[in-house]
Each structure stands twice: as C-alpha cells, then as structure tokens.
Structure 1
Amino acid sequence: MALQATPYKITLDISDTDRGVYESVKFTVARHPSETEIRLASRILAYAIFYHPQLAFGRGLSDSDEAALWEIDLTGEIQHWIDVGQPDAERVIKASRRAPQMSVVVYGNARLWREKTILQFGHLDNVRVLALAQEELAIIAAKLTRSTHWGVMISDAQLYISDGDQQMPLPLECWHGELPTAP
C-alpha cells in the first residue's frame, strides 16, 4: 500500500510592503510522503512571496510536469510557473517556455547548483531565482505543524515570519532576475 500525503492546514497573514499585498489566506496543502519539512516550508513561503489570487499548489513531487506552485489565469493559461528546490537547467528552460514568468525558490546548500546551473539559463529574461537562507529556514520549518498560522511580512527583500510566539527574520537573496514587484 502506498503512503498517503499528509494534509497541513495553513493560515497566512501576508503583509508584502514591497508589492503592496495585504491578504489573509487559508488553505490546505498536502505534504508528499517523501517531502521534507524544509521543502514544505519553502513551498508555503513561496506562496507568500508570490501571492496572487490565482496562485495554486501543483502536484510537485508526484507529477514532474507540474510546478510546485503556479498562477493560472481564467482562460487556463499558465502565467507564472514556480519551482522550489534545485531543479536542473533543462526543467527551468522548459518551464520558462510554458509561462511568461518562471521563478525558482532555492533552499539548502545551493552554492554548486548556483555556479553550475544558472549559467545554462542565465540568458532567459523571464526567469528569476530567489534563495532562502538555509539556517533560518531550518528553524522556521521546525515550527511547522499540521495546523499552522504564520504572519509573513516582506519588506526590502527580507521576510519576517511570526508564529505568535516569536518573529524570525529570513533573508531573501535574488540570484537571477529581479525581486517580485507590485502586480
């Protein structure tokens, strides 16, 4: 019998002063059996960073033809493809052809990935790569529970995650392209 995905009920209070986005959203996200808490936390934070009313979670790990997140317009066209992790250059290039915007939110020790992979798609104007600080992300991911309520403030390329008990800064680095701007 195959292992089942684990549902997480998430509430995010998003205050993105860089883009002028102020929303409180509730959703359920499935954690794939092989997915780490750090990857799940990265997907949730990517949702906050790129929040849009049409942004949705894809099947991610269970379907390689889908993004971790994507914004699909009312006509069914993909407007923004968002991957989380360290995808290979071929996947980034393919996704950049499928959507006007393609973003990668990188986590973990990605120095080698950055040196090797970005060179292969650095010429693409519609691709952006953002990196989450490894140590801070691990601390935030450890606070993830099956019912999580986070306040996420984004200001000057810095994330501040609040869980009610404490606030944790999480630096956001832009490795390629530009940071998200007002819609």
Structure 2
Amino acid sequence: MALKATIYKADLNIADMDHHNYGDYQLTMALHPSETIERLMVRVLAFARYADEQLEFTKDLFEVNEPALWQKDLTGLLEKWIEVGCPDEDKVKKASARCQQVAVIAYGSSVEEWYKRSSKLKTLKNVEVWQLSEATTTAIQALCERTMQLQLNIMDGEWTLMSDAGQAVVEWIKLQ
C-alpha cells in the first residue's frame, strides 16, 4: 500500500513595502511521503517570492514533468515555471522554451557545485536562479505546522517570515 501525502494549510499574509504589494493567500500543499519539511517550507517561500492569485502548487514529486509551482494564463498557457531544489538543467531549459519566466529556488549544501555544473542555465535569458541560505532553511522549518498563520514582511530588501512559533530572517542570494 502506497503512503499518502500529508496536507498542510497556510494562511500567508504578505506585506511587501518595497514594492507596495500586499496580499493574503490561502495555500494548501501536499507533503509527499519522500519530501522533507525543509522543502515544503521552501515551496512556501517560492510562492511568496512570485505571489499571484494565478500561481499554484503542482503535483511536483508525484509528477516528474511538473515544477513545484506554475502559473497559467486564462487560456491555459504556461507563464511561470518555478522549480525548487537543484533540478536537472535539461528540464529547466525545456521549461524556458515553454514559458515567459522560469525560476529556480535552490537550497542545501550542494547548491554551489550544482550551479557550477549547470552551464546550460547560464545561457537562458528568462531563467532566474535564487539560493536560500542554510540558516534560512533551518529557521523556516521551526515555523512549520499542519495549519499555519504566516506573516511575511519585506522592507529595505529584508524578508522576515513570522508565525506564532517564532520568526525567521530569509536570506536570498541571486545566482542568475
């Protein structure tokens, strides 16, 4: 018998004072049995970075041809493709040919090595690559609960994610 996904819900309030963007989002995410809490919370940050009402979580680990998140226009055409982790560069290249914007949110101890080996990524003009610091991914895991109330404040380039369980400073490093 296959293990089932665990459902997590997050009410995410974003106050981006740098860009005057404010929004409330009700997120429902499935935690795949092989997925870690760290990756689940990185997906929340990936959503927050590109927050939009049309942005949605995909089947991701259940379906290898899908990213962690995507956004489609009203006709169903892909606009944004957002990968989490250190994906295969051929998958990212294929996505860049299909979408206006592709992003990779990389995390973990092997990011620098992965990025050095990913020479194809550097040639793609519509691909952004962001790295989350290990301090960030450690801190955001402590905020995870099955039902979360999260507040993200962005001011002067500083990101702070807060919940009743505490807060985490989010450190982004732009690789591309």
TM norm structure 2: 0.94
Counterpart-to-counterpart distance in 2, 1:104 and 1:156: 23
Give the TM-score normalised by structure 1: 0.90
| Match in the other structure for 2:54 | 54
Q: Which residue of 1 aligns with 2:130?
A: 130
Matches within 5 A, 1:34-113: 34-109=34-109, 110-113=111-114
Give me the whole-angstrom Cα distance separating, in 2, the residues matched to 1:60 and 1:11: 21
Structure 1: which 5+ runs fail to align? 177-183
Which one-letter code corresponds to 1:111 in the other structure? E
User: What is the Cα deviation at residue 66 of structure 1?
Assistant: 1.0
Distance in 1 of aligned mates of 2:86 and 2:156? 24
Residues paired across the two proteins, number: 175
Aligned counterpart, 1:116: 117
Deviation sequence 1:76-118 (CA, Å, 0-9, x none): 011000000000111110111110100000111111012111x
Off by >6 Å, runs of 4+ in structure 1: none
Identity of matched residues, %: 37
Residue 167 (structure 1) aligns with: 167
Structure 1 residue 159: Cα displacement: 1.8
Helix, strand or coil at the partner of 2:15: strand
Shift of 1:156: 4.3
| 3-state SS of paired residue (1:122) | helix
Provide the rounded CA distance (Å) in 1 between the counterparts of 2:55 and 2:158. Answer: 21
